């Protein structure tokens, strides 16, 4: 084989340099995207989900943002800013009613938990103050539920007001984990109260 077959023209050399330059840049971009994945200071779990993004600007919520509304709470936010609900025992509903009352419902596989309290909107955040008891509701059969009340001190919970795109978002991060909240349009306050009254939970959790 002749020596000139191993020679590289200036055009080929230039093309090789450009290829190497592009490859290095693409590799560093990928590595940068990976390094942008955050680790929760609470759980220590690495997550690239939008739920771990710090880019949720603070937002003011009007005083009536919660009156007669239902919010859904969960540990993850989807790309469209809705709450991810495809998990067991990790989502809850907050039913806001009256002037400043709420009921928090935490459904799980074999037991549902309910708590009642009053909320304060201080324009930059929402504070939930719980009554000192917890209601447990268990479906014993198709036609019967077992409802029990337990004394329990529940610490106040604070959600900060944030913005996800143009959507108002509740945000909380503490030693128990990270949670997000959005208004839930699948049900109304009236429907939820009717359901709670029908099951007998309403009178136990309100304690009038």
CA–CA separation, 156 vs 7, rounded Å? 76
In a domain, 97, yes or no: yes
User: Helical H runs in 70-200?
Assistant: 189-199
pLDDT over 60 (residue 51): no
CA–CA separation, 110 vs 87, rounded Å? 14
In a domain, 30, yes or no: yes
Contact 120, 126 (CB under 8 A): yes
Co-location of 51 and 13 in the same domain: no
Co-location of 17 and 77 in the same domain: no
Co-location of 65 and 28 in the same domain: no
CA–CA separation, 53 vs 2, rounded Å? 59
Element (H, E) at 112: strand 112-121
Residue 101 vs residue 84, higher pLDDT: 101
Q: Whole domain around residue 27: which residue ranges? A: 3-36
In a domain, 41, yes or no: no
How many structural domains comprise the chain?
2
pLDDT over 80 (residue 5): no
Co-location of 56 and 134 in the same domain: yes
Co-location of 189 and 149 in the same domain: yes
Task: Of 201, 191, 73, 53, give the one whose Cα is nearest residue 126.
Answer: 73
Mean pLDDT of all residues in 183-202: 94
Mean pLDDT of all residues in 188-202: 95
Task: Of 183, 158, 200, give the one whose Cα is nearest residue 68.
Answer: 183
Co-location of 69 and 7 in the same domain: no
Mean of pLDDT over the chain: 78
Q: pLDDT-based confidence at 148, cuts 50/70/90? A: very high
Co-location of 85 and 18 in the same domain: no
Sign of the four-CA dihedral 105, 47, 56, 84: negative
DSSP 154: -
Co-location of 28 and 61 in the same domain: no
| pTM, full prediction | 0.72
């Amino acid at each position: 084989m002749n020596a000139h077959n191993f020679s590289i023209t200036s055009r080929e050399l230039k093309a090789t340099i450009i290829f190497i330059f592009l490859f290095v840049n693409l590799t560093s971009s990928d590595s940068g995207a990976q390094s942008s994945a955050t680790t929760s200071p609470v759980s220590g779990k690495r997550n690239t989900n939008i739920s771990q993004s710090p880019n949720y600007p603070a937002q003011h919520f009007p005083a009536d943002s919660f009156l007669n509304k239902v919010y859904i709470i969960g540990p993850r936010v989807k790309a469209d800013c809705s709450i991810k609900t495809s998990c067991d025992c990790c989502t809850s509903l907050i039913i806001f009613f009256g002037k400043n009352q709420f009921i928090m419902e935490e459904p799980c596989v074999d037991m549902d938990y309910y708590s009642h309290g009053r909320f304060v909107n201080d324009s930059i955040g929402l504070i939930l103050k719980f009554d000192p008891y917890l209601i447990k509701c268990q479906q014993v059969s198709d036609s019967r539920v077992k409802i029990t009340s337990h004394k329990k001190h529940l610490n106040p919970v604070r959600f900060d007001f944030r913005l996800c795109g143009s959507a108002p978002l509740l945000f909380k991060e503490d030693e128990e984990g990270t949670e997000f909240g959005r208004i839930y349009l699948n049900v109304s306050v009236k429907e939820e109260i009717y359901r709670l009254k029908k099951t007998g939970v309403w009178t136990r959790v309100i304690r009038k």
